[in-house]
Amino acid sequence: MNKKKFDLVIFDCDGVLFDSKEANRQYYNELLKRLSLPAMSELQLEYCHSHTADESIAFLLNGLPQLVLQRAKQEVKNISYDDFLKYMSEEPGMRETVSFIKKNIPTAIATNRTTTMPLLVKMYSLDTLFDKIVCALDVKKAKPDPECIYNILQYFNIPANRAVYIGDTVVDQYVAEAAGIPLIAYKNNHLDAMFHVEHFDEIKEIVLGGCN
Query: What pLDDT was estimated at residue 1?
Result: 42
pTM for the whole structure: 0.87
Q: Looking at the domain assignment, is residue 64 inside a domain?
A: yes
**Last residue in a domain, options 86, 109, 124:** 86
Q: Are residues 103 and 184 in the same domain?
A: yes
Q: Looking at the domain assignment, is residue 149 inside a domain?
A: yes
For the stretch 46-105, pLDDT in tens is 999 888 888 999 999 999 998 898 999 899 999 998 899 889 999 999 999 999 999 999
Q: Are residues 173 and 98 in the same domain?
A: yes
Residue among 79, 15, 74 nearest 45 (CA) = 15
Q: Looking at the domain assignment, is residue 1 inside a domain?
A: no
- Evaluate if residue 2 carries a pLDDT over 80: no
The range of the structural domain enclosing residue 189 comes to: 8-19+89-208
Q: Are residues 77 and 152 in the same domain?
A: no
Q: Are residues 187 and 122 in the same domain?
A: yes
Q: Are residues 188 and 104 in the same domain?
A: yes
Q: Looking at the domain assignment, is residue 3 inside a domain?
A: no
More confident residue, 2 or 142: 142
Helix, strand, coil tally for the chain in percent (to 5): 50, 15, 35
**End-to-end distance of the chain based on CA atoms, in angstroms?**
11
pLDDT band at 34 (very low <50, low <70, confident <90, very high): very high
Weakest-pLDDT range from 114-118, 119-123, 208-212: 208-212
- Evaluate if residue 131 carries a pLDDT over 70: yes
Total of domains in the chain: 2
pLDDT band at 210 (very low <50, low <70, confident <90, very high): low
